[in-house]
Amino acid sequence: MKQFNQNIQYCGYQDVRADLLEKNEIAFLDVREEDPHARSHPLFAANFPLSRIEQDAYSKLPRRDVRIVTFDAGDHPEVELSDAYLGARRLVQLGYTNVSVFAGGLRSWADAGGELFIDVNVPSKSFGELVESKVHTPSLSAEEVKALIDSKADVMILDARRFDEYNTMNIPTSTSCPGAELVLRVAELVPRPETRVIVNCAGRTRSIIGTQSLINAGIPNQVNALRNGTIGWTLAGQALDHGQTRKYFEVSEQAKLSASKRARHVADRAGVKRASISELKSWRQQSVRTTYFFDTRAPEEFISGHIPGFRSTPGGQLVQETEMVAPVRGARIVLVDSDGVRANMTASWLAQMAWDVYVLDDLVLSDFNEQGSWQAIMPGLPPVAGTDATALSSGLRKSPSGDGASVMDILVIDLAKHAEYVRGHIPGARYVLRSQFKQALTDLPLARCYVLTCPDGAQSAFAFEEIKQLLLSRSAAQVEVLSGGTKAWSTAGYQLETGATHLISDPIDRYKRPYEGTSVSREAMQAYLDWEFGLVEQLGKDGTHHFWVLE
């Protein structure tokens, strides 16, 4: 391991691999945007985009002396000019003290013989395939399930995805019941033990985990996964429903008690550890171990009352997307719920994924004494030259549109995520990704004043100094930040423009999942399934995962 300066070292393949094999805490952070990350990365390289480091770091990396290794494509010949090095510098500026750069990036990893994976949430998807290969989770094809529906057989189809995914497209007659809710709700959703239960998702992972959850919990019904989910249904030429709102309902105390006994038994078999509320105080100090505190209930339950310091992470999605909220591999995870079911079932899977996982016991209603949505912990916003929505609106009305003008009076630059920008942005604003600003610079129209915005003003403030310097390197201009961001503009009553207009950067901040939406090609769907089928072999080649399966 070599050193750039007193704060930043650089390391290589064997250093990272040794930490993973020894189950040491390590945050192996891919600072590229999500789309290039999804196209190729090491198994446990968590996506941690350079453009959002200040907004994500304190919540996702709670211990300041945790070992961090930043990673990128390795396409810059000088490491100290790479994105990985820039990411490391930002983390050091935020107070992190054990930061290294992975020298050579993706190319170096591959040259050393490291296995490379595509797509997102790969640890979880690989684990799901391992589960099926070990315990042979029973499944039915799309054609078999449709035949059961058409014959009006005694079946209940439960969709284990988030409700918004279900609402977009779903298997006909199915009911929304996200993964962590299955064991809690199934007895009253499916009161007859003779009814066959079929669990689906969009592809494979959540249906495998959901089906196996019910089997592990010992419910009396026959349970099957819908093989290949809505993708398999579509590839079979069968129509999906859209806009459905059927979902689970509240269950009786008796059903909760029975489900909690089943869930606790599964958790005990998986080696899940127990914790008490009195232990939280010392763990929150983050002095020796990284600890994540996750509430596995539905978001609306979290909002109505939760334990301070916990983050809303519904259990099914947590199993599916663990590295998105817990990028420190080897960390401790503490889970909580109000029923003894969702936390225990979620923990049983995380334990098999080699996490050091605890469930919080002996809680009373008064422990859930904080209300509202979870708020990310962020550093204080740096000082900036600011303007408000009223002044910006007035300036824009007085200035020409810029279409054809050699130099505009005011140009608004929107640093939002692409999806946020498309939903609504200040009319005429240019979409630029912060991480791609240098590349986008020559495509930006010249202006006398540039105003940076984003949904809430935070991204603009954190990016202000670096973007100001880049803009001033091109021309003498004033650079300001819209206070409160685009939300303040809208709150002040000014109109928003929608759609993918005025894109200066390519929208690479989010990878287009082959299982989302209704406009994915059949070729992309089939390629995705073929990839999932090969994940167990890739796990074996990588050899760092420590996964095991409860049998």
Q: Domain residue spans in the chain? A: 2-119, 126-248, 271-367, 386-491
Backbone angles phi, psi at 534, to 5 degrees: -90, 0
93, two tokens: 């500026």
Strands across the sheet containing 139-140: 139-140, 223-226, 196-200, 155-159, 175-176
Average pLDDT over the chain reads: 95
CATH number for the segment(s) 386-491: 3.40.250.10
Contact indicator for 184, 160 with CB cutoff of 8 Å = no
Give per-residue pLDDT as tens, 150-167: 999 999 999 999 999 999
Please state which architecture CATH assigns to domain 271-367. 3-Layer(aba) Sandwich (3.40)
Give per-residue pLDDT as tens, 287-340: 899 999 999 999 999 999 999 999 999 999 999 999 999 999 999 999 999 999
Determine which helix (DSSP H) or strand (DSSP E) holds 359, and give its type and residue range: strand 356-360
Residue 403 has pLDDT above 90, yes or no: no
Residue 381 has pLDDT above 60, yes or no: yes
CATH number for the segment(s) 126-248: 3.40.250.10
Residue 440 has pLDDT above 90, yes or no: yes
Tell me which residue of 406, 448, 450 sits closest to 428, measured CA to CA: 450
Give per-residue pLDDT as tens, 245-297: 999 999 999 999 999 999 999 999 999 999 999 999 889 988 899 999 999 99
Please give the average per-residue pLDDT across 80-88, as a whole number.
92
What pLDDT is attached to residue 6? 60
Contact indicator for 100, 88 with CB cutoff of 8 Å = yes
Residue 346 has pLDDT above 80, yes or no: yes
DSSP one-letter string for 293-329: EEE-S-HHHHHH-B-TT-EE--HHHHHHSHHHH--EE
Listed range (83-97, 431-445, 504-518) with the worst mean pLDDT? 504-518
DSSP one-letter string for 396-420: HHHS---SS-SSEEEEEEE-S-HHH
Residue 363 has pLDDT above 90, yes or no: yes
Tell me which residue of 530, 498, 501 sits closest to 514, measured CA to CA: 530
Task: Please tell me the distance from the alpha carbon of residue 111 to that of residue 107, in angstroms, as a whole number.
Answer: 6
Please give the average per-residue pLDDT across 207-216, as a whole number.
98
Give per-residue pLDDT as tens, 470-503: 999 888 889 999 999 999 999 999 999 999 999 9
Residue 81 has pLDDT above 90, yes or no: no
Residue 143 has pLDDT above 90, yes or no: yes
What percent helix, strand, coil does the chain show, rounded to 5? Answer: 40, 15, 40
Q: Would the CATH topology of 271-367 be identical to that of 386-491? A: yes
What pLDDT is attached to residue 23? 97
Please, what CATH class does the domain formed by 2-119 belong to?
alpha beta
Residue 405 has pLDDT above 60, yes or no: no
Facing residues of 247 across strands? Answer: 176
Radius of gyration of the chain, Cα coordinates, nearest whole angstrom = 25
Residue 176 has pLDDT above 80, yes or no: yes
What pLDDT is attached to residue 401? 53
